Structure 1
Amino acid sequence: MKKTLLGTTALVTAGLVAGPALASDPLNVTVSGSLITGFYFVDSDGNNDDTKVPVVARDLTVNAEGTLDNGLVAGATLMLELGDDEGAAAPANDDATFQEVFAYLEGGFGRTEIGATDSASFKMHYSSPWFVPGNGVDSPNIFNGGPQTAGGLAATPSSRTSTYALLTEDDNKISYFTPRLAGFQLGVSYTPDVNGNNPVANGFGVSAQNSGVEEVFEIAANYAGEFGAVSVGIDGFYGTGDAPAAGGGDPEEWGVGANLGFAGFTLGGAWYQNEDIARGTQSTALSGDETEVWTAGLAYGSGPWTVGTAYLESTGERTGVADTSVEFWQIGGGYSLGAGVDLGLDIQLIEDDNGAGVTTDSESAGIVLAISF
């Protein structure tokens, strides 16, 4: 086996040096993007702001992909996220930043990704369905709630609003996905250092140590199949890392999710739990903190129409400190005006308990216009 591997390496190296002798057709380049906008009326405890115009998911994605002479599919993805114009500090300003930058190879062996992108645990997860264009209760793009402050609602809810694995988000990593066999697939990811949610340029050195969470290993498995007229999707994941700084603990997160589809209906839900991750964040280590999140939803689609309802509940715990919590109901739907153009109605009922004796109730209703191309 060792001799065979060395021989294979020599052949590959020779091919790289030879260049044009094994050249394939140029990779096909595509450009896509999305923009989600809305107009909401918001009624919350003590909040004088009763209207909101969110503009979110402003991104452009460039993807280059092609099939090589040896049958492998090679590609690269660069996702550019556009800042807002509210004069906020970086990265939430007018600048455009790369949110994801990664390369991949795919073939009979499976798929390998290297670079700044979400982990296998994130990409293989099932949860409650989204029926409002560009928005849902699990990892919402538009969230009209949060703890009450002197200036209105805080931008960050008191407890986590996602069942997805977000410990490493878009940090530089390597991931491998097996081929799907009899409906089953396995995925693993390794992230050396968690120190930002955008691509980290470290080609001329090594990642900074003791700067946050390190050595994160994640593993996920899912099943996708059909039983007669019923489609089924199930997944489970686990991730753990080291936090060398004092008080960081050893962050862990795990969860499961499922979707069932039948005659236009989609029933979905998920459960998530973590330890030693700060209650109000997704990827900051803090020893003693725990968070549990669950969600369930039902959607129905027929022709251009989609309607549904979903619920998410989250609780954050810390020894000796009052629990924080978020309850989030969403009711609404969407209508496809044409390819890539969707109009929706979004009704949100949110209760946020900040753990300091202040519970904020927020009700909102609005229209959403989502454009993708």
Structure 2
Amino acid sequence: MKKALLGTSALLGVGLAASPAFAADGIKLSLGGFFQTAVLANFDDDGKGDLGHGRYDYGVFNDSEIYFLGETTLDNGVTVGVRVELEAEQSNDQIDAAYAYFSGGLGELRIGSQTGALETMCVTPVGGTANFGAFSQDQVINNAFSGFSAGICEGVDSFRGQERSQKIVYMTPNFSGFQLGVSWSPNGGHESGEVTDFHSGMPHSVDGEQRNVVDVYATYNKDFDNWSLSWGGGGSWALSSGGNSPSHNKGDFYQTALNLTFGSFSVGAAGQYYGDGIAADQNGWVAGAGMAYKLDAWTFGLQYSYSDFEFIAPNVDRRINTVALTTNYDLGPGIAIDGTLQYAWAHADSEDEEAHGYDSFGIGLGTSFNF
């Protein structure tokens, strides 16, 4: 789903050793990125003890990033390069990703701070826009998720707060529409501390840290007569945990999605299960569907998601429904305006009193620029 891909280090090493691999030119630097903005309004239960209490009803929000891409193609056809992603707003995680890569006929190998195979290749339901939707889009308007979202593309380390930890990712070439990705993160909780820059000794053991996180994800994309199919599925597993932590405190996540397109109309569904999502014995799952219709520069979408989270707070089981009506208008290449109308409602067990009978009506208008 994401880019053409490149070989294993061993195979690449054989190729480089067998023949000269000098580049006609050195690595050339280019720039790119995106800038997304959104104006949101939310009308929900805001009385004392309700989820909306003490929160504003409207605001202006954005998500933006600039990436630096340096690459060159060697004389043997292998492309080598680096990519560094910089948050365009002040952030505690100012550098979003930073990795080196080798790309050629054998696939793509990436090494550094980045997302795992599941999130990198993930297929999501149709009907969402760059800003809005009922699943993993940037802007969550309602207050039912308490800082989470109906995420449908999460790996174990990303959901535990280290989305772009240091890892190795390999993605095969595309074989008649089929592609496979595998990633490994030895220290899922370390993105920079004791890992990047000057290095002396091994990182400290961290209690409860998800270690040796492995992702495996496959996609299949195929065009048939008058229709097309896009499928993705895989999982993410922590094979061990650091320091003093319970033996069962190892996350195991599973995700799958399928989209079908018939001319201008498309429909799809997806689901993800979070085993030991935030901590031991705190699980959750998200499922839902979407549809979209394209009319010239307009795309109209509808999505529904159902989330069941046991890990919003200790001993809490919160169930959240979201319906999102979306629209997107392409002003030009990489330039779009999008909007949404959303309704969300939540139910919970007796220990989650804030969520009982919660409902929200949200409105959003946004822009999305890619450069």
Same fold (TM over 0.5): yes
Asked whether the 8 Å contact 1:129–1:136 carries over to 2, the reply is: no
Secondary structure of 1:121's partner?
A: helix
- Alignment partner for residue 164 of structure 1, among 153, 157, 163? 153
Aligned partners of 2:270, 2:124: CA distance in 1, in Å? 5
User: Partner residue of 2:7?
Assistant: none
Aligned partners of 2:364, 2:196: CA distance in 1, in Å? 40
Q: How much identity, in percent, do the aligned residues show?
A: 23
Counterparts in 2 of 1:161 and 1:28: CA distance versus 1, 3 Å: same
User: Partner residue of 1:72?
Assistant: 78
Counterparts in 2 of 1:185 and 1:50: CA distance versus 1, 3 Å: same
Aligned-residue offset at 1:354: 6.0
Aligned-residue offset at 1:49: 2.7
Aligned-residue offset at 1:117: 1.1
Aligned partners of 2:113, 2:135: CA distance in 1, in Å? 22
Counterparts in 2 of 1:162 and 1:198: CA distance versus 1, 3 Å: farther
Give 5+ residue unaligned stretches, structure 2: 1-9, 47-51, 158-162
Asked whether the 8 Å contact 2:38–2:131 carries over to 1, the reply is: no
- For the pair 1:83 / 2:89, whether they are aligned, the reply is yes
User: Partner residue of 1:310?
Assistant: 303
Asked whether the 8 Å contact 1:271–1:293 carries over to 2, the reply is: yes
Counterparts in 2 of 1:366 and 1:10: CA distance versus 1, 3 Å: closer
Counterparts in 2 of 1:175 and 1:143: CA distance versus 1, 3 Å: same
CA displacement, residues 2-44 of structure 1 (integer Å, 9 cap, x when unaligned): xxx89x769739968xxxxx34213343211211112222101
Give 5+ residue unaligned stretches, structure 1: 17-21, 85-89, 148-153, 279-285
Letter in 1 for 2:275: E
Give the root-mean-square deviation of aligned CA atoms. 2.8
User: Partner residue of 1:150?
Assistant: none
User: Partner residue of 1:49?
Assistant: 56
How many pairs does the alignment contain? 338
Counterparts in 2 of 1:180 and 1:348: CA distance versus 1, 3 Å: same
Letter in 2 for 1:361: D
Of Structure 1 and Structure 2, the greater strand share is in 1
User: Partner residue of 1:189?
Assistant: 183
Aligned partners of 1:10, 1:109: CA distance in 2, in Å? 11
Asked whether the 8 Å contact 1:257–1:268 carries over to 2, the reply is: yes
TM-score normalised by structure 1 residue count: 0.82
Aligned-residue offset at 1:196: 5.0
Asked whether the 8 Å contact 2:23–2:73 carries over to 1, the reply is: no
Counterparts in 2 of 1:227 and 1:337: CA distance versus 1, 3 Å: same
Aligned partners of 1:98, 1:9: CA distance in 2, in Å? 33
TM-score normalised by structure 2 residue count: 0.83
Secondary structure of 2:185's partner?
A: strand
Counterparts in 2 of 1:232 and 1:306: CA distance versus 1, 3 Å: same
Aligned-residue offset at 1:291: 0.8
Aligned-residue offset at 1:357: 2.0
- For the pair 1:277 / 2:266, whether they are aligned, the reply is no
Aligned-residue offset at 1:214: 0.5
